[in-house]
Amino acid sequence: MGLTTSLTNAVSGLRVNQDALGLVSKNIANSGTPGYHRQSLNVVDYNSQDSSYARSVGANRAFNQSLQSYYNRQVSDTANSSIQASYLDRLQGFLGKPGAAGSLDTIYSDLQNSLQAMATSPDDYTSRSNAVTAAQTMAETLNRLSSTIQGMRQETEGQIAANVHKMNGMLNSLSEVNSRMLDLGMTDSARASLLDQRDRLVASVGELIDVRADYRGDGTVALMTRSGVGLLDNGVSTFSFKSAGSLSANSVFDPNSAETKVGQLSLTTPSGLTIDLVTQGVLQGGELGGLVTLRDKTLVEAQEQLDEIASGLAQAFSTVKTPGVAADDGAAVDPATGFDVDISALKPGNDVLFSYSEGGETKQVRVVNSIDPVDYFDASGQRVIGIDLSGNATTAAAALNAKFNGLNITSTGAGNLRILDDGALGSTDVKSAVARSTSTGLQGAGLALNLFVDQGNSTYTNNLDSDPPQKQGFAARISINAAVVANNKLMVQHEVGGTLGDADRANYIISQLDSMNFTSGGNPAANKDKFQLTGTLGEVISQLVGFQGANINAALTKADDRQLTLDTISDQMQSEYGVNLDEEMARLMELQNAYSANARVVSVVKELLDALLASV
Amino acid sequence: MIVNKSMFPLQTGFGVISKMQERFSDLQVQLGTGMKASTLADMGRDLPLSLSVRSRLGKIEGYSANIATVDLRLSFLDKTMSRFDTIEGEARNSAVQGQYGTNNINMATLPSLSKARLDEVVTLLNSDVAGRYLFGGSNTDHAPVPDTTTLLEGQGGKAGFKAVLSERKAADAGLLGNGRLTTAHPVVIPAVPTVTLSEDGAHPFGLKLSNISTTAPNTAVTYTAPDTTTPGIARTLDVTFAEVPDQIVAGNTITIGFSLPDGTETQITLEAVETASVPPSVNEFVIGATADDTAANFQSTLDARLVDVASKELNAASNFVASESFFNGPGEPVLRVKGTNPATATELRVADGTDTIMWYQGQSPAVAAEGLGRTSIRTDAATNTVTLAEKAPVSADHGFTIGGTAAVTGNITTTYSGASPNALNVEFTGVPTAGQQVQFTLTEPNGGTTREITLTAVAGKPGVGQFQIGADASATAANFSKALNTVVSEAAILAEGNPRQTVTSQIDDSTRASYGVQGNESGMLRLVRSLASMSVETFLDTDAATESASKERYDAMARRQQLQLSASHDSERGSIEILTMELAVARMSLQNATSRHTDYKAQLDNLLSDVETVSKEDVAMELMALQTRLQASYQVTAMVSQLSLSKYM
């Protein structure tokens, strides 16, 4: 051991201290930089025979892979919920609170009240015109909500396109980061900032799409979606989005890419394979996932519910009920009894309702005039059967008869359906039968009234056979019959030249609104994840408002919860990666002391050497 | 919300502060609006309750608006009905038999006063609330009655009441002005001392012979009474005077009774006198030298007396029967004299709007319970036949059409005559056996309901739709007639319906207030008829002759008005008193519904406020607590942020 050794030791200490000071200063300087990971110095001491000195071997960057994966996942989920919450938050503004002006339930109750007032004063111009105005407001509210919803869907497409653009840019940057990472000649601090950049990019990608990052030892990262589609490995996959242009209620997603009427989001892998992300169900999180869910599910369902209300409204006003006429098979003893139903006036989408009891249990059947041979039990427990009633009545009766064991359904001629029970066996009993057709005229065609009409003043019959079905997007097209707007006497005058004091039509419509039942959603088995609205029109509207309220509330709460989790993780990252100024300051003091001590050693050694040299 | 731009967000402490600030502004909004939630999602679990309460409240609001509207109408009707009542009383007291007033002032003023009352009644019937006419049933969009001038004088060539009345008066008076009667005292040799009085045909006009009696012994006067049982014939009677020495002596009288077209009766009494009074009296005939002379004198007195009756009693009856046919009641057509020369007319016809003013154009039932829906039931005792026939003239728009599915069974022979007016004859040839049935149908006009009526013979006490088998055919026919009357009445009552039900308004979920009133209901109808009749007569008193004639006419008119407006009609359906009561019942139900709604609304409002509104005290308390916490947090955060090592270096 000699003085030189001490000097060397002290000098090595000074160097290490300087490096450490450099890092501390960098930490302090970057204490506010987003995504900066705290760095610390690696110090190695060399022990040779006569000396032990310290040397810095690069910097350590604080990093916790499991925390990082957790963070990436939470970012995707939070982004997914937040984007949905932000859209739905706006939607609830349009729906309005119960009792608020413009809220569906308020407008409907206004319509009912104006009809009541019209029934009390059918001869009063003002009360009739109030009723027409209330109906118009109802139609316009449905139009407005529909266009809001479709506008939002349109917006999601725009946002998807923007996100796709952003995503491609980020993936390319990340790919560059990866390739630079393979350059081993870099200094540790340069590498650390590159890693910071890498983590920022991964998190940003995670915000857009659910992502699983595979951090490799060499600092590169491979990305794939949670469903396992590779986004970035040796090459970069490219997202592309083909917009569908303007979206309407009829623009719905279809798994068949040729049929789909919405924008197509696809991914092309470096090998040239193209995957449709929506059809394949790749998107499980991130903003893109949220936007697609909004576009194809949440907003579509809201639109369907509005369509249901519009459809119910039109039908409640326009449905003509033709009760069946009692009939029997003419047997002298225990005749089979039932009803003759006149089906000649039925249009596509109109139906025949009948109820019968079998073994004491009453069953409801709705036979829809449709070429689509559906057969299911709807949400209200009513059996729905699709039969073509417009064509040959005998064929229709035979087809229907095949569906029921205990009933005898025949046809006595064109336009007739005879529904009889099993007669002497006595196990079934037909209770009622009624044909429900759509009113054909404003006057002289019964009490029903085609007040709400489809585009171009055409009749709404809830036709299932057109493509798309007439109900789809009806809320956007519903309007008031121009003839009634021009002459509001038609609201009460159901016969040409009839007295205006006659409240029969108004009373009929009020009773229809109070008693006609609707069930949404078709076959519950085929639409498992959809909420089924059922009941009278008022109940359906309440259910819509209630359902949307609960749904939006759930989405907002979920977004809040996820945000909270993300905040917790961020806190944890802060403590793991972040710069603690106090700690750095303390280290600074420590380094200052060590530095001055080392300097002191150097100066002491110098004095000793000087003394030694002077004594020589 | 951008999740990712700062990987290390603000320290938790700051995050909490910003959350507290959000809560602070929420509370401020709550305090300001008083509402718990400002958005749909915020309402959370309260949403379903709020929705259902609001929908119920909306309904109540609708009903309340209805009630307010209906209440206005009912209060209006109430006022109008009490005015009708007053007018009825005034009219009843305005003309009393024998009270002509000082200088016959009553006689002079009665027509104009009646006209003024008629004016007011018509105005009241045409009264409207905000353009809605209240006295036309559900025909609320036009006035139910034309104005008085049109009613009385006609318009645009259409006959008014005066024209219809003059026709009827002419038809009743006949060419001779003696009530469509002819007297005959055949001049033959040898002379026959018989005077024959006969109707000039089988028709509904003029005086109808009903009976004859005399105080003279049957040795002095013999007579043949008119046949009043056979329908549809011109009746006749004759009086034969005995020769001297059995000739009629002075002081004996002969009385002949007549039925008048309005259903009242009158009679003339002719007294035999030795010498004619000066001036000659219309009630006396001079006993001649021979029976034939007496008969001739009797005939000439009778002729003069008939003209006298026709101009007074018959004139009044004509007037009232004309008002009855012009101012038609529910289920009855307007009737006019058929033919170009009323004085020789033999039939009535159904008039329509093409040539006659229709006095009431509001809603009216096509079949009325009154008068069995324009059918009549007659029993012919001789053949034990009960006949149900439509009333002539048949109207397409009024009354039942009888349809026969007359099956012939056992001892009952039914024959159906389909030649309008339709009739169903049920002849009992013997005692029927229990279970035998008579079936027919009654159809309402203009494609209305057809009712199948079945009457079944039973041995014991008959129920509805049954008749008791009597001891013999005649008793059975009487029972059948009674049962038939019951079922046809019931069918007619069902067909007529209740005018109150023609206008209803929903005032609660299952409560409706019924307040339809039809201007031709019996109370208003009687008022209009009698006031119109009274207002078209004039009573001259220029000299003693006209004065006494006018007084007699005045008496005849006053008696008939008394009859129409007497308080005995107060209890009949549709009278002003019954109407007032029924409307009061409707109003009562309105009031009950109102108080129910008020109570329920208060409860619901409370419920809603529990769900939707915040208590200001709670919010204020929370605000204060939050303020304290926030201040403390600020303070601590500020202090902590000062605590940095770098400060101490």
Of A120, A200, A585, the CB nearest to B645: A585
Tell me what pLDDT residue A19 has: 87
Helix A299-318 × helix A65-95 angle, to 10°: 20
In A121-140, the residues whose Cβ lies within 8 Å of chain B are 121-125
Beta strand residue intervals within A81-181, DSSP E:
none
CB-based contact, B70 to chain A, within 8 Å:
yes
Of A538, A549, A567, the CB nearest to B55: A538
Helix A537-577 × helix A104-120 angle, to 10°: 170
B1 neighbors A75 (Cβ within 8 angstroms) = no
CB-based contact, A29 to chain B, within 8 Å:
no
What is the residue type of A32? G
Q: Do B3 and A500 touch (CB under 8 A)?
A: no
B5: distance to nearest CA of chain A, Å? 7
On the question of pLDDT at B407 being above 70, the answer is no
Q: What is the pLDDT averaged over residues A113-131?
A: 91
Which of B1, B6, B8, B52 is the best mutation test for A, with the most CBs of A within 10 A? B8
Q: What is the pLDDT averaged over residues B254-275?
A: 93
Radius of gyration in angstroms for the set of CA atoms belonging to chain A, rounded to a whole number: 38
**pLDDT tens-digit map of B505-537:** 999 988 899 999 999 999 999 999 999 999 999
On the question of pLDDT at B5 being above 60, the answer is no
* Residue (of A389, A448, A380) closest to A419 by Cα position: A389
pLDDT more than 90, % of chain B: 53
**pLDDT tens-digit map of B305-317:** 999 999 999 999 9
Distance CA A172, CA A182 (A): 16
B362: distance to nearest CA of chain A, Å? 10
B136: distance to nearest CA of chain A, Å? 9
B286 neighbors B275 (Cβ within 8 angstroms) = yes
CB-based contact, B59 to chain A, within 8 Å:
yes
**pLDDT tens-digit map of A479-523:** 999 999 999 999 999 988 888 888 899 999 999 999 999 888 777
Mean predicted lDDT score pLDDT of chain B? 89
Plot region of A137 (φ>0 → left; ψ -120 to 50 → alpha; else → beta): alpha
In B99-158, the residues whose Cβ lies within 8 Å of chain A are 130-133, 136-142
Of B1, B41, B505, the CB nearest to A119: B505
Of A113, A120, A570, the CB nearest to B70: A120
**Looking at beta carbons, which residues of chain B come within 8 Å of A34?**
5-8
**Looking at beta carbons, which residues of chain B come within 8 Å of A545?**
40, 47, 51
pLDDT confidence bin for A13, thresholds 50/70/90:
confident
CA A371, A377, A382, A383 dihedral sign is positive
**pLDDT tens-digit map of A567-612:** 888 888 888 888 888 888 888 888 889 889 988 988 998 888 888 8
pLDDT more than 70, % of chain A: 100
B160 neighbors B151 (Cβ within 8 angstroms) = yes
Distance of CA A268 to the CA centre of its chain: 25
- Specify which of A228-232, B129-133, B162-166, B607-611 reaches the highest per-range mean pLDDT: B162-166
Tell me what pLDDT residue B146 has: 95
Return the exposure string of B31-45: e unless at least 16 CB atoms fall within 10 Å of the residue's CB, then b. Answer: eeeebbbebbbbbee
What is the residue type of A518? F
> Which residue shows structure tokens 């919860």?
A561
A182 or B408, which is more confident: A182
Distance CA B327, CA B512 (A): 32
In A191-230, the residues whose Cβ lies within 8 Å of chain B are 199-200, 203-204, 206-207
CB-based contact, B646 to chain A, within 8 Å:
yes
Q: Do B645 and A570 touch (CB under 8 A)?
A: no
Q: Do A510 and B4 touch (CB under 8 A)?
A: no
Distance CA B139, CA B435 (A): 46
**pLDDT tens-digit map of B366-399:** 998 888 889 999 998 888 899 999 998 898 899 9
CB-based contact, A549 to chain B, within 8 Å:
yes
Looking from the CA of B375 toward its CB, the CA atoms found within 13 Å total: 31
B464: distance to nearest CA of chain A, Å? 26
**pLDDT tens-digit map of A291-329:** 999 999 999 999 999 999 999 999 999 999 999 999 888
A585: distance to nearest CA of chain B, Å? 6
User: How is B298-325 classified by DSSP, letter by letter?
Assistant: HHHHHHHHHHHHIIIIIHHHHHHHHHHH
pLDDT confidence bin for B78, thresholds 50/70/90:
very high
Q: Do B4 and A206 touch (CB under 8 A)?
A: yes
**So what's the ipTM on this one?**
0.79
Q: What is the pLDDT averaged over residues B75-94?
A: 93
Residue B128 CB coordination number (10 Å): 17
Distance CA B537, CA B556 (A): 12
Tell me what pLDDT residue B11 has: 57
Collapsed DSSP state (helix, strand, coil) of residue A212: strand
Collapsed DSSP state (helix, strand, coil) of residue A268: strand
What is the residue type of B490? E
Q: What is the pLDDT averaged over residues A15-32?
A: 87
Tokens of A474: 């009806």
Kindly report which listed range (A111-120, B63-72, B605-614) carries the lowest average pLDDT score.
B605-614
User: How is A558-594 classified by DSSP, letter by letter?
Assistant: HHHHHHHHHHHHHHHHHHHHS--HHHHHHHHHHHHHH
Kindly report which listed range (A210-214, A525-529, B423-427, B437-441) carries the lowest average pLDDT score.
A525-529
CA-nearest residue to A120 within chain B is B505
CB-based contact, A508 to chain B, within 8 Å:
no
Q: Do B58 and A556 touch (CB under 8 A)?
A: no
Tell me what pLDDT residue B7 has: 46
First CA to last CA across chain B, in angstroms? 40
Distance CA B201, CA B232 (A): 9
Radius of gyration in angstroms for the set of CA atoms belonging to chain B, rounded to a whole number: 41
Q: What is the pLDDT averaged over residues B87-101?
A: 89
Q: Do B645 and A96 touch (CB under 8 A)?
A: no
Of B39, B65, B649, the CB nearest to A589: B649
Phi and psi torsions of B580, nearest 5°: -55, -45
> Which residue shows structure tokens 């005066």?
B162
Q: Do A501 and B40 touch (CB under 8 A)?
A: no
**pLDDT tens-digit map of A518-537:** 888 777 777 777 788 889 99
**Looking at beta carbons, which residues of chain A come within 8 Å of B612?**
99
On the question of pLDDT at B649 being above 70, the answer is no
Mean predicted lDDT score pLDDT of chain A? 89
